Amino acid sequence: MSIGVLGKKVGMTQVFGEDGRAVPVTVIEAGPCPVVEIRTPENNSYSAVQLGFMDEKPSRLNRAKKGYFEKQGVSPKRVLREFRVDDSSAYSVGQTITVELFSGGEKVDVCGTSKGKGYAGGMKRYHFSGGPASHGASKVHRKPGSSGANSYPGHIFKGKKMAGRMGGDRVTTKGLTVFSVDAENNLILIRGPVPGANNGLVLIYKTA
């Protein structure tokens, strides 16, 4: 378990590597993330570091949140997330975590919320093959086929793969490669796609 950084997915583009080949990358605006609170085994039964991301206007906070940030001595942040660490004593409230935590060529895990697709059928949601396209098949081309049982058990079990809401889930993509880090502009370029839509919140960890 190690600390990471919070970021906002900007979008995808391509850059050229040292060999001249075009490399697809995802641009993430990550940090700076101040340490808002420290969780210790003595007080909280586990070790973690709470980070904040994106400034928030004090006028948009309720009294509880305003009092919390004033107590911690940290400017209000829109997003708060915890990162489990082995030893939280190495960090202090007010310390700032930036993209300099990572370097080019390093492996990272990126966690985000996948794009919501709405109500989807079995072929789109679970890659069912569908019914026959011809030879007497009528109106069953994209149907899932038989889904229940006979007299026993006589009902469909919970969790059965069927049509339903697709996307909008917490997804972690592991083992992605950091292409480069722009500490001056708080940007990190990661090879390939990462979960979520543009402007979505992502968490970047070092791969264990």
List, for residues 45-85, the tens digit of each pLDDT value: 999 999 999 999 999 999 999 999 999 999 999 999 999 99
Look over the chain and give the mean of its residue pLDDT values, rounded to a whole number. 93
CATH architecture of residue range(s) 33-97: 2-Layer Sandwich (3.30)
Give me the phi and psi of 62, to 5 degrees please.
-80, 175
Contacts 24+ apart (CB under 8 A), 156-162: 161/122, 161/125, 161/126, 161/128, 162/122
Element (H, E) at 89: none
pLDDT-above-70 percentage for the chain: 100
d(CA 26, CA 191): 6
Paired strand residues for 178: 190
**Which amino acid does the sequence have at 125?**
R
Q: pLDDT tens digits, residue range 115-138? A: 999 999 999 999 999 999 999 999
Q: Are 190 and 108 in contact (CB under 8 A)?
A: yes
pLDDT above 90 for 102: yes
Sorted by where each begins, the domain ranges of the chain are 1-31+99-131+162-208, 33-97
Q: Is the peptide bond before 32 cis (omega within 30 degrees of 0)?
A: yes
Superfamily holding 1-31+99-131+162-208: Translation factors (2.40.30.10)
Q: Looking at residues 186-200, what average pLDDT do you find?
A: 95
Query: C-alpha distances in angstroms, 54 versus 25, 46, 57, 80, 121?
Result: 23, 26, 10, 9, 37
- On whether the CB atoms of residues 58 and 70 are closer than 8 A, the answer is no
Average pLDDT over residues 89-104: 92
What whole-number distance in Å separates Cα of residue 11 and Cα of residue 147?
40
